[in-house]
Structure 1
């Protein structure tokens, strides 16, 4: 047995005295990104588990200290998964560990894209460190999202007025307004994966790498609504 609370709302229908008009409003904004996100993978390897873990801890601390040195430019910094995995010898009797592999994953979000280019090259210059990204985005609280939704609503109202005007009548009331889709910007990677030096022997310790020149792409933010109005009955 269903109760009134369980009964789905009835879909509005037009009548000759109150014709129903359904329109869609949509908008697309192109804006500059507000933040850039990079992923940093720190690796260590060795024959001894404890030595590998100590090495991983040291490398991870170096990465975190470097990122933190950029101060307020870094809006968010987080350490993700940490793993120490043994690699077994492929042959021989019994299972023996050949070497240990350690990994930590760090995510950083920056608001200064000039500093981002410098930080990226300095991170890539570290041993056994991989950089992924950057992925460009807007903040979840960005006013751009609200602006897109407002423009979509205005577009729906304007379109409804145009249809009513074409019939020689006017709108009477708003029956329903539905958000049918607000799409945020999809982060785009300027480079998918940057290979880094695996040995410090090839690096020049007294040379600071040139900052990577990163050109942020324009992001598209889309919003779409569906609106239903009643109209004053037109004289057809």
Structure 2
């Protein structure tokens, strides 16, 4: 005869604690306001002409001149990217049909800088270029910024302090950490400088760009928020 094995006793999990092992769950938050680390600007270069090839050559020349200017600032430029490029005809009515009136060309560049003195100088020189438009700057922190870690640590410390205060109110102590969850680390929206959102197309020409006075820009402070939720066991308090 085969013996039926005796099932092992099961341990009931009590996610909300028991009288013997009470739990406390708290929330910790941190709110930091810090200086930005980088700034972003976009440059839109434009060319117009009645001939497709001439318009494209003009756009290419402006793009090369602008890239050379930006790259001349060396390591203060963290990132330089070319976005959209377009060359399209503008049609006009001619008798019963249509014909091409002119061509419009556009190239958009995005620049990320880590030196805000350079930013003011470069922005002014770019805005002084013929048929160039500058938008920005937008201020931000790097994804790897230590400010994010600092906010998370502060949120954890606040959660631990809050849990200890609850335990103290019950005249007991914390036992063990059961769970720690990150409910969100948030960075404030990219801030824009407090001047016109878009500088109009320059009219002075590239030859005057070197003489453009630097623009004094005030960086926008960045908000970094972190939230955690932590659960601890408590040494059973004497409530008698």
Give SS of 2:98's match.
coil
Match of 1:37 among 26, 36, 40: 40
The 8 Å contact of residues 128 and 209 in structure 2, kept in 1 or not, is answered as no
Shift in Å, 1:91: 5.5
Give the aligned partner of residue 201 of structure 2.
196
1:99 aligns with 2:132: no
Give the aligned partner of residue 46 of structure 1.
49
Aligned length: 225
Give the aligned partner of residue 158 of structure 2.
155
Give the aligned partner of residue 186 of structure 2.
183
Shift in Å, 1:12: 2.3
Change (3 A) 1:25 1:207: closer
1:19 aligns with 2:19: no
Partners of 1:106 and 1:221 lie apart in 2 by 28
- Give me the TM-score of the superposition, normalised by structure 1: 0.90
Partners of 1:157 and 1:50 lie apart in 2 by 68
Shift in Å, 1:197: 2.2
Match of 2:145 among 142, 146, 163: 142
Partners of 2:153 and 2:90 lie apart in 1 by 56
Shift in Å, 1:150: 0.8
Give SS of 2:97's match.
coil
Give SS of 1:82's match.
strand
Deviations 1:197-233 (A, max 9, x none): 2464xx9849711100001122111111111111111
Change (3 A) 1:53 1:11: farther
Of 208-217 and 10-19, deviating more is 10-19
Give the aligned partner of residue 211 of structure 1.
214
Of 90-99 and 169-178, deviating more is 90-99
Partners of 1:93 and 1:65 lie apart in 2 by 46
Of 81-90 and 126-135, deviating more is 81-90
Instruction: Name which one, 1 or 2, has greater alpha-carbon Rg.
Output: 2
